[in-house]
Amino acid sequence: MQRLRDSFTFRKSTTLKTAHEEFLKSLPKAELHLHIEGTLTPAQKCAIARRNGIKLPYESEADILAAQNYIGKDAAEYLKNFLAFYNEGMKILRTAQDFRDIALDHLRVCGAENVRYAEISFDPQPHTDRGVAFGAIIEGLRAGIDEAKALGVEAQLIMCINRDMPVDSAFRMLEDSKPYRDRIIGFGLDSLEEGNPPTKFLDLYAKARSEGYRLTAHCDVDQTDAVAHIRDCLDLLKVERIDHGINCVEDERLVDQLLERGVCLTACPTWRPSDTMPRRMDRIRVMHERKLKVTINSDDPGLFASGTLGAMLPAVAAEGRFSEEDLAQLMINAFEGAWLPRERRDAYVEEVRDYLAAWKRARI
């Protein structure tokens, strides 16, 4: 285990290229695709487990890091291990204070990286199944979000269905959320796509829509029927955003449709310890060139080697051959795709434009 961790450190420090680091540091940023359960670091897991009197199946933080960095013999084994590790990790979350702490800890990092706005996804079903009250999750997360305002960071919540769980359980979640409707902006769909296509959720999305939620859905990368699933999410679930969705570049008509509707796509060029560079950049570059509203996101920053948005952007800029204008545009895409009132979005976009202009002036 020790050897794995050392090789990760070595790879990260010697092979990942970086670009525009100075420019990126203070660039106003937004992130629309981030799972709060995926922000948990080994240190947080140990601290919260200790507080809740839970015995983790690991001896130390180093052991947790080694387990999350375990690559496996192939991609399928990696994914299986990753999800098992992910689900195991969230079991330590029991109280409103746990949820408040992880939200605030993450938003503190956002503050340090000048991530001005974040839409944070959370998965209620695995928590409520363990006996955690829906209200404790929301009260905790919202407390963290409210406290982070003082740091200059604004955030909203997206409630996600675990698509591999029974639809009945998702309907119960929607019912549970009623008293907290005004504290949750969006409704999404994540977890295992294989065998759980968008058509499984038609009635559920119709109900969420009727309750006024903003709608998004994960269309994971290179899944079976990936392009058809994006279409189904747009046409049948009537989402206004797609999480991932980068297989859209395989279908010109779909790209035109996404452009026409101004759909925001939240790409995640995250990388694992075994990768030498950000993944999927070729397709994200094409999306950017086609002027799709594509954004860059960290997805599960506590679990991937790529880390948080601010940490991953220099390598993403290098691998995507993005100029400073391109990077500013990617952030403008995120602010324009944000589920905020028009004037708030415009104000953030203006901030990005002003920053870019001031940066250029300083270098003439």
Closest to Zn ion by CB, 167 vs 221, is 221
Q: Kindly tell me the sign of the dihedral angle through the C-alpha atoms of 285, 289, 290, 294.
A: positive
* Residue labelled with tokens 């001896």: 59
Closest to Zn ion by CB, 113 vs 299, is 299
CA-CA-CA-CA torsion for 90, 95, 101, 104, nearest 10 degrees?
Answer: 90
Nearest to 21 by CA among 275, 231, 313: 313
123 near 190, Cβ under 8 Å? yes
CB of 33 to Zn ion, least distance (A): 6
The DSSP bridge partners found for residue 264 are 241, 293
Closest to Zn ion by CB, 299 vs 324, is 299
CB of 17 to Zn ion, least distance (A): 25
For residue 256, give every residue at least 6 positions away whose Cβ sits within 8 Å of its Cβ, in sequence order, or none: none
Closest to Zn ion by CB, 20 vs 33, is 33
CB of 221 to Zn ion, least distance (A): 10
Binding site for Zn ion (CB under 5 A): 299
Question: Which segments within 64-196 are labelled E, that is strand?
Answer: 115-122, 154-162, 186-190
User: Both tokens of residue 28?
Assistant: 């106003």
The Cα–Cα gap between 317 and 329 comes to 12
Closest to Zn ion by CB, 216 vs 329, is 216
CB of 303 to Zn ion, least distance (A): 11
CB of 301 to Zn ion, least distance (A): 11
